[in-house]
Amino acid sequence: MTRFLTAAAGYFTLALSVLGLGACSPLALFDALGPRDGGGRLALKDAAYGPGPRGRLDVFVPVSAPASAPVLVFFYGGSWKGGSKEDYAFVGQALAAQGFVTVMPDYRLYPEVRFPAFLDDGAAAIAWVRDNIVAYGGDPRRIVLAGHSAGAYNAVMLGLDHRYLRRAGVNPQAIRAVAGLSGPYDFLPLDEGTAQQVFGEAPDKAATQPITFAGPLSPPAFLATGEADTIVRPRNTRSLAAKLRAARVSVQERVYPDLDHADTLLALSVAFRSKAPELAEMTAFLKQFAEERPTTAARR
């Protein structure tokens, strides 16, 4: 099976890139056929964190889970127009196998909603984590966020702009660190098409950009991209990393040679993990800050 998937790498990468990860068929097929990490398992399916069919989440746990494990909330991509948690079980199991109780929420998409409704959904999912994750072995005081593409935007924005968590009744200090894979963080002026559709009605365009909120109180960040990414240009990662470093925030910036937009997602899988040491580097960074006590200076 691994040999088949390796031979199909070009097909999946091209299909996922062209479709912006929005069409479920190629990724659903990859998720269904690919080998999985044996160290993680699905523990909870379709728990309601909010109203409607998109207000649901899944929880993956380490097979050998220590008490009070760190919690990772992962947001998938899809240009805020598509995507389903059903197609990302390989990510949930991979992260759980690394020792994280991993939460994978769905969230509302365009055209049902526009900015910032999907961020409010993400904050509501984190509120659910705070209130319920102890039952699955997670420590609600040790939450980290991660995501790919549009999901990286969601994760990083929730970590940097504290309004959404506060509106959901969550102390932003609960977020120990964030990780963004191939995320858009600095994309003004808005291009015609998806960006204009999703963000164009916002009265303050600067307030739609994660880089606007990067400052001394931002959480530590792991920011990775592929040098060959033509969907979300690597300059997004570089500019946000530079601003966070200037604010003396801990940042690990990784630009992987030859990887494209879809590769930074696929590299989390067993089949394509040899593409880059992304999973090991990201989880090591997140664990470091999940274990540390927040400093006084980091308090929100």
Q: From 180, 170, 185, select the one nearest 225 (Cα to Cα).
A: 180
Give 2-293's CATH code, choosing from 3.40.50.1820, 3.40.1190.20, 2.40.110.10, 3.40.190.80: 3.40.50.1820
Question: 95 near 138, Cβ under 8 Å?
Answer: no
The answer for 78, left when phi > 0, alpha when psi is -120 to 50, beta otherwise, is left
Q: How far apart are CA 283 and CA 95, in angstroms?
A: 8
What is the chain's pLDDT, residue by residue, as a tens digit (300 residues)? 334 333 444 434 444 443 444 444 578 888 888 888 999 999 999 999 999 999 999 999 999 867 899 999 999 999 999 999 999 999 999 999 999 999 999 999 999 999 999 999 999 999 999 999 999 999 999 999 999 999 999 999 999 999 999 999 999 999 999 999 999 999 999 999 999 999 999 999 999 999 999 999 999 999 999 999 999 999 999 999 999 999 999 999 999 999 999 999 999 999 999 999 999 999 999 999 998 655 533 333
Query: Is the four-CA dihedral 166, 198, 225, 102 of positive or negative sign?
Result: positive
Q: How far apart are CA 32 and CA 30, in angstroms?
A: 5
CA dihedral of 142, 58, 42, 131, whole degrees rounded to 10: 40
Q: From 210, 99, 193, 204, select the one nearest 153 (Cα to Cα).
A: 210
